[in-house]
Amino acid sequence: MIYPLILTLHLFAALIFIGTVFFEVLFLESIRKQLPARVMLLVEQGIGRRARSLMPWVLLVLFGAGLGMVWLRYLPALASPLTSSFGTLLALKIAVAMSVLLHFLGAMFLFKSGRMSPRYLHFIHASLFCHMIVIVLLAKGMFYLTW
């Protein structure tokens, strides 16, 4: 009974995180050209403040639930990940997810130290966008690809 709950928490947290990254990359970048710079700055500051207060909790749930899922169901597959396509894809998904976490921690450090620049922010968003696509493909592939 606990696994379905943990899976649901993991999926909702992933939905929030991926949705936020996709919104920032696919919508905000095109809106930037249509709004005056001052208005766009206010929009970005408001979204940024909200994201910095919400995302640590979202990532805590996302990674906590992911660890719970591994512990409850997928530990045997990770014991020798190269012996099955599922284990291999799961191990790759976890590696990419750890890179996402490092991106997030790096961004938080840059914000807190006052060194975050628009160039860094653009790079981090683009990189996270690519990571999210890879994670979604790996997550689906784990259940549908075999070799």
- Tens-place pLDDT, residues 66-108: 999 999 999 999 999 999 999 999 999 999 999 999 999 999 9
Tens-place pLDDT, residues 51-66: 989 999 999 999 999 9
- Report pTM: 0.91
Q: What percent of the chain has pLDDT over 90?
A: 86
> At CB < 8 A and 24+ separation, what contacts does 106-109 make?
108/52, 108/56
